[in-house]
Structure 1
Amino acid sequence: HAEILCILGSGAQARSHYQVFTQQFPFKEVRIWSRSREKAVQFARTAEGMLRVCSTPKEAVAGADVIITVTMATEPVLFGDWVKPGAHINAIGACRPDWRELDDVLMKDCVLYVDSKEAATKESGDIVISKATVFAEIGEVLKGTKPALSGKTTVFKSVGK
């Protein structure tokens, strides 16, 4: 049911996530924002498919069903007040305990999935700083021991473990 994909960031992780997500899901619209507009424009030019380069993260996120954050942000670039209820966020960037991409509102109001609870609660600033509660590891969902709560705003925070 997802129609709008938003990517915040324009590096190698943004490109690989764009390729996987657009191959797996028939999005009607894809938006990208990067701190460097030049890099976002270059990303859009070289990617297969039509991408809309946005001037602000808020513009890129508006109404998005799936949001991918792949930035080196040290302060939030995505705010819960901007996120459409029921959206899914793949949070890949901000890979240090003192860096973050997502604000406290989003982190505390979402259903939070991680790759490794042990690693994420030590290494992810999004989790450490907000003190958000992890609902499940993604492996638990894949095994069927924890549910995938579609219809709720969900965040998958990956620290690469």
Structure 2
Amino acid sequence: MVGGARTMTTAIGMGKHGARAIDAYLDGARYEAPPKHPPISFQMLDLPVYLESIRHAQQELPLAARASFAEVVQGLSQDEGQAEAGRCLSCGNCFECDNCFAACPEQAIVRLGRGRGYRVDRDLCTGCGICFEQCPCHAIEMKAESQPTSGPLGTIGEPLAPHSFRVRV
């Protein structure tokens, strides 16, 4: 069962890779795959968001009845499949849940439209990190800036510039 699912996933991924390569070739270019996201550890996942949903078991053909080329795993209904897809942990890829958008106290997160992700308005961002904390799949990385050599300083000498971060696409 696991091997079959893995094979199907690989086939879908290779089909997408082939389609992108053909598209680039027709444009007179060569397709270069974007760098892969680093893996997210189990400890980094925000599991309370996902633990409430129940996993749907797929029906299997009994061992005694497996004498032909009939499907062994019966699959899921459309409703069960959509519920399972909703359980996906995403592991580092933004799936546009809007948590960062809703949580930003400065309204610095800008929606770019369905399937296009978000943009950060650096003029509004204070670097508070609330968007980072609210992201269930760690698609936002916060990086501390080095001490500026010039610029506004706070009352105890701390820089008032925000931390920089990037949103994975």
Regarding TM over 0.5, the answer is no
Q: TM-score, normalised by structure 2?
A: 0.25
Higher relative strand content: 1
Q: TM-score, normalised by structure 1?
A: 0.26
Instruction: Give the structure, 1 or 2, with the largest relative contact order (CA under 8 Å, sep 6 or more).
Output: 1
